[in-house]
Amino acid sequence: MGLSLVHTRARVGVRAPAVRVEVHVGGGLPSLTVVGLPHAAVREAKDRVRAALQCAQFAFPDGRITVNLAPADLPKRGGRFDLPIALGILAASGQLSNDALRDVEFLGELGLTGELRGVDGVLPAAIAAAEAKRRLIVPQENGAEAALVASAEVVVARTLLEVCAALAGEKTLPRAEAVEVVARHAPDLRDVRGQLRARRALEIAAAGQHHLLFVGTPGCGKTLLASRLPGVLPEASEVEALESAAVASISGRGVDAARWRLRPFRAPHHTSSAVALIGGGPDARPGEVSLAHNGVLFLDELPEWGHHTLQVLREPLESGTVVVSRAASRAEYPARFQLVAAMNPCPCGWAGDASGKCRCLPEVIDRYRARVSGPLLDRIDLHVDVPRVPPETLREEAPEGEASECVRARVVTARQRQIARAGMANALLDARATNATCRLAPHDRALLERAMTAFDLSARSLHRILRVARTIADLDDSDFIATQHLAEAIGYRTLDRGASAT
């Protein structure tokens, strides 16, 4: 009879709660039972573990084997518990020292030959193991991902035999090594010809972390502009990059260890479902809004998205988090993304164009724009008309636009002012902080009140105008919001004026 304890980690959202694998080997008829709320893949571990131990020429103990995954009320999913279960059986049967398992955590799925296979959610487990001051042993496949956590002591192994040899002191496992991070690379804003107003709005959005909507005719450059936003955003801090990488790690897509410092850019198709956008499924996986955390979420053809799908965006746009609840699971994911959307001004796409191509009736245009609800538009700070580019602007000899590097320098300076003043980007200020930070002169306050009355603006729109004006002032290196800053911010509320604005 014997008892052993092995440390490992489960996956719940972006957290990696500790799990103790308790193994008891006793008398009775031979059997192996796994308890502690295991899902199907965990229950099947007993067959994988048995074959792996036998192929590695370990003695599979006779008698009744009970494996308890504690705490018992925490759901356990996936093959990540195979390695700790196998080591627990070896320790409980006296083939491995219990002392060697005390300050180590283990993750890994076992093949029938004893080969270690990679699992998802290793990055959150590495962060948690570092906080617990324990060494972590993971499959070689997960080494580059786990090595992103500089404070963690992570070693890698290819097989169960290698792990056992290392625990017995007969072998030294190599440390996990991070791959070389690629240099910052994103499409350059210099590729955009003309569109000075749209480029200006893109710079303001980047400086203050504001949401942005482009409205324009087909082929005017809306998608081109949106794809250039990551190139003008400030570089992600290590904390921000780790948060984004942790979401990618538990999504099942894995982490690109060479590009983990780059801000994510997600552009789902307009046929995507609400679950794909917000997250869900049987095991509550993160959706596109979480995969875009600390980066950009681009929604093209905004009115073509399903009404219900668009409405699920409203809460994460305000709170920056998503809670996915299912009958058997619940997970909270970060979703502090920057939304960039694009749409045509009417069903045919040519309303307001000088060519006069549009033949859409006013009521048809109203119905088309009404597909994007008022509460959602309220949450988008900048509404920008993008006109068709004149042919002469596209000539090969025409001057290129300003490079992303130059724009990013101004954006970084403005963002630093915001962090020094309030500790966050302007778009993240709450109502109290907005009133304290975005004070107006009496005549400017009167201008804003007239705009509210003329355009029927909501209180949310008012606060967003103030934050945008504060960002424009920061780009001008101004300590206060001047009339021209406020007037420009009001001018970016195009869709608040109804269908007549094109």
Domains and CATH numbers, the chain: 2-167 (3.30.230.10), 189-497 (3.40.50.300)
395 pLDDT above the threshold of 80: no
Max Cα distance, the chain (Å) = 88
330 pLDDT above the threshold of 60: yes
In this predicted structure, what is the pLDDT of residue 499? 41
State the amino acid at position 20 in one-letter form.
Answer: R
Query: How many Cβ atoms sit within 10 Å of the Cβ of residue 273?
Result: 14
- Distance from C-alpha of 375 to C-alpha of 318, rounded to nearest angstrom: 11
- Distance from C-alpha of 413 to C-alpha of 427, rounded to nearest angstrom: 16
Lowest mean pLDDT among 55-69, 219-233, 277-291, 299-313: 277-291
- Distance from C-alpha of 502 to C-alpha of 500, rounded to nearest angstrom: 6
Up-side HSE of residue 467: CA atoms within 13 Å toward CB?
A: 31
- Distance from C-alpha of 92 to C-alpha of 496, rounded to nearest angstrom: 69
Q: What is the DSSP letter of 159?
A: B
Q: Report the pLDDT averaged over residues 162-188.
A: 88
In this predicted structure, what is the pLDDT of residue 501? 41
60 pLDDT above the threshold of 60: yes
In this predicted structure, what is the pLDDT of residue 183? 67
Q: How confident is the model at residue 46 (pLDDT cuts 50, 70, 90)?
A: very high
Helix (H) or strand (E) holding 84: helix 82-92
pTM for the whole structure? 0.90
- Distance from C-alpha of 346 to C-alpha of 356, rounded to nearest angstrom: 13
Q: How confident is the model at residue 358 (pLDDT cuts 50, 70, 90)?
A: very high
Query: How many Cβ atoms sit within 10 Å of the Cβ of residue 259?
Result: 15
Highest mean pLDDT among 59-63, 376-380, 485-489: 485-489
Q: Report the pLDDT averaged over residues 166-179.
A: 93
**Average pLDDT over all residues of the chain:** 92
- Distance from C-alpha of 10 to C-alpha of 26, rounded to nearest angstrom: 27
Asked if 323 and 279 touch (Cβ cutoff 8 Å), the reply is no
196 pLDDT above the threshold of 60: yes
Q: How confident is the model at residue 32 (pLDDT cuts 50, 70, 90)?
A: very high
Residue 83 CA, distance from chain mean position: 29
364 pLDDT above the threshold of 60: yes
Query: How many Cβ atoms sit within 10 Å of the Cβ of residue 55?
Result: 17
Q: How confident is the model at residue 494 (pLDDT cuts 50, 70, 90)?
A: confident
Give percent of the chain with pLDDT exceeding 90: 78
Q: Which residues of 361-389 are buried (b: 16+ CB within 10 A; e: fewer)?
A: eeebbeebbeebeeebbbbbbbbbbbbbb
Q: How confident is the model at residue 100 (pLDDT cuts 50, 70, 90)?
A: very high
The phi-psi region of residue 124 (left if phi > 0; otherwise alpha if psi is between -120 and 50; otherwise beta) is alpha
Q: Report the pLDDT averaged over residues 279-295.
A: 90
253 or 491, which is more confident: 491
In this predicted structure, what is the pLDDT of residue 186? 78
| Torsion angles phi and psi, residue 284, rounded to 5 | 55, 55
pLDDT digits (tens, 9 = 90+) for 123-162: 999 999 999 999 999 999 999 999 999 999 999 999 999 9
In this predicted structure, what is the pLDDT of residue 146? 94
Nearest CA to 252 among 217, 295, 290?
290
Q: How confident is the model at residue 327 (pLDDT cuts 50, 70, 90)?
A: low
In this predicted structure, what is the pLDDT of residue 117? 96
Lowest mean pLDDT among 41-50, 99-108, 488-497: 488-497
Sequence-distant (≥ 6) Cβ neighbours of residue 379 within 8 angstroms: 211, 313, 314, 317, 318, 460, 464
Count how many residues are written for the chain. 502
- Distance from C-alpha of 243 to C-alpha of 231, rounded to nearest angstrom: 20
391 or 286, which is more confident: 286
pLDDT digits (tens, 9 = 90+) for 242-265: 999 999 999 877 788 888 889 999
